[in-house]
Chain A
């Protein structure tokens, strides 16, 4: 592996932080979902990098299961988003504050 492991981990850390920033800063629910996908992909990169370094196939299997769960999460999340949009006419997560004290 001529590219050092640290390079992959640093790229993964940068992508993960971009994702957290997006979740915390943006108010469009769709963009928040995309930022969550960004974080999941950053973690996947870490899994694959460590699987390559330790030559352990289990890391790649973890990525497989992450992809499956991410697909289900997007389907259910976007269905909820459409349902919220139907009843409240907004995708701004600051406007969906029924549980506000």
Chain B
């Protein structure tokens, strides 16, 4: 169908423009919002590929949680984000771009081997029901491991983000309280 092709072209252009914005923009807020554009465009392509559940997951988890987390960090650090020390590795940029271009050519050359005979997808393919059925039967163990990984992530964020622990011996009560705004270490 022509409509699918038109939607794909717009989504692809949006994703590529967003990707360029993530890499090239100097403003961290603009980087984060470009990432949001990429994630939204990719959710549209997932819909074209009969992956409704993954598209919703993409919008909720990536666009809803991860980009917001990035924006929070930008908000916390915004004074320092523009300040960069002078570049000490001047050759790194051109070499990186050259190597990435070579890698891109290599990957595009492999596309010759792609076979392109797709049957029309059955109506239930990619719905919450079919994904959930596979997730809770043949992929039950990886699903439980994923929940453990999430728990580890929560604990790690709390432990790393906590300010440095106080000394074990509490200071006597008569000592003067530490001034407000003193460095924690």
Q: Which of A3, A55, A71, A91 contacts B61 (CB 8 A)?
A: A71
Complex Cα distance, B160 from A87, in Å, reads 12
SS of B interface (majority): helix
Task: List the A side residues contacting B146 at CB < 8 Å.
Answer: 65, 68-69
Interface residues on A, range: 35 or more
Residues in A34-88 with C-beta less than 8 Å from chain B: 34-35, 37-38, 41, 44-45, 48-49, 51-53, 55, 57-58, 60-61, 63-65, 67-72, 74-76, 78-83, 85-87
Whether B22 contacts A71 by the Cβ 8 Å rule is no
Task: List the A side residues contacting B83 at CB < 8 Å.
Answer: 90
The count of chain B contact residues (Cβ–Cβ below 8 Å) is: 87
Q: Which of B77, B120, B135 contacts A61 (CB 8 A)?
A: B135
Whether A31 contacts B22 by the Cβ 8 Å rule is yes
Task: List the A side residues contacting B100 at CB < 8 Å.
Answer: 17, 20-21, 24
The smallest C-beta distance from A96 to any residue of chain B, in angstroms, reads: 11
Known: A65-B146, A83-B160. Contact between A3 and B5, CB under 8 A?
A: yes
Complex Cα distance, B131 from A17, in Å, reads 30
Interface flag for B181 (CB, 8 Å): no
Per-residue 0/1 for B75-94: is the Cβ within 8 Å of any A Cβ (1 yes, 0 no)? 01100110111011100110
Whether A14 contacts B104 by the Cβ 8 Å rule is yes
The smallest C-beta distance from A2 to any residue of chain B, in angstroms, reads: 5
Per-residue 0/1 for A2-15: is the Cβ within 8 Å of any B Cβ (1 yes, 0 no)? 11111111110111
Task: List the A side residues contacting B157 at CB < 8 Å.
Answer: 75-76, 79
21 pairs across A/B with beta carbons < 8 Å? A2-B2, A13-B107, A16-B107, A17-B103, A20-B103, A30-B70, A30-B77, A34-B70, A35-B22, A37-B62, A57-B130, A60-B51, A67-B57, A68-B146, A71-B150, A71-B153, A82-B160, A85-B77, A90-B85, A94-B85, A95-B85
Since A19-B23, A57-B131 are in contact, a sample of 12 more A-B pairs with Cβ atoms closer than 8 Å, ordered by chain A residue number, is A1-B121, A2-B5, A14-B19, A15-B19, A24-B96, A24-B100, A25-B23, A38-B19, A45-B45, A49-B49, A65-B142, A71-B61
